[in-house]
Amino acid sequence: DIVMTQSPDSLAVSLGERATINCKSSQSVLYSSNNKNYFAWYQQRPGQPPKLLISWASTRESGVPDRFSGSGSGTDFTLSISTLQAEDVAVYFCQQYYRSPHTFGQGTKLEIK
């Protein structure tokens, strides 16, 4: 299985500041034939199911605020929240869909400082 490792496990950021979450995969999830990274980010607010934020490592889902952005390629990826809002308090997960079984990171808990 591809192991997804997120860092940090938890993060406290002041309102209006930038938050950065990292995810590293144990092998590349970049498919060379189409140059796409088979990688997604999710947000899980307390008591809610996960919500898809970003696919293909950097493509925001419809309705996701543009303060969320994804970057990276191969084995190293980053989710950035440019100006933290109170409603962004959540656990964030990465997921690879390059190879079955699809696997997730352990999650990063984002709180307000």
Partner 1 sequence: QVQLQESGPGLVKPSETLSLNCTVSGGSMSSSYWSWLRQPAGKGLEWIGRIYSSGTTNYNPSLRSRVTMSIDTSKNQFHLKFSSVTAADTAVYYCAREFKAWWFDHWGQGTLVSVSS
CB of 9 to partner 1, least distance (A): 11
Give DSSP secondary structure letters for 71-84: EEETTEEEEEESS-
Determine if 13 is a binding residue for partner 1 (CB under 8 A): no
φ and ψ at 86, to 5 degrees? Answer: -60, -35
79 near partner 1, rule: CB under 8 A: no
User: Using the rule CB under 8 A, which residue among 38, 68, 77, 92 binds partner 1?
Assistant: 38
Smallest distance from partner 1 to CB 104, Å: 4
* Residue 103 lies near partner 1 (rule: CB under 8 A): yes
Rounded to whole angstroms, what are the CA distances from 32 to 2, 16, 73, 74, 98? 17, 38, 11, 10, 11
The Cα 78–Cα 6 span in angstroms is: 9
Residues interacting with partner 1, by CB under 8 A? 1, 38, 40, 42, 48-52, 55, 61, 93, 95, 97, 100-107
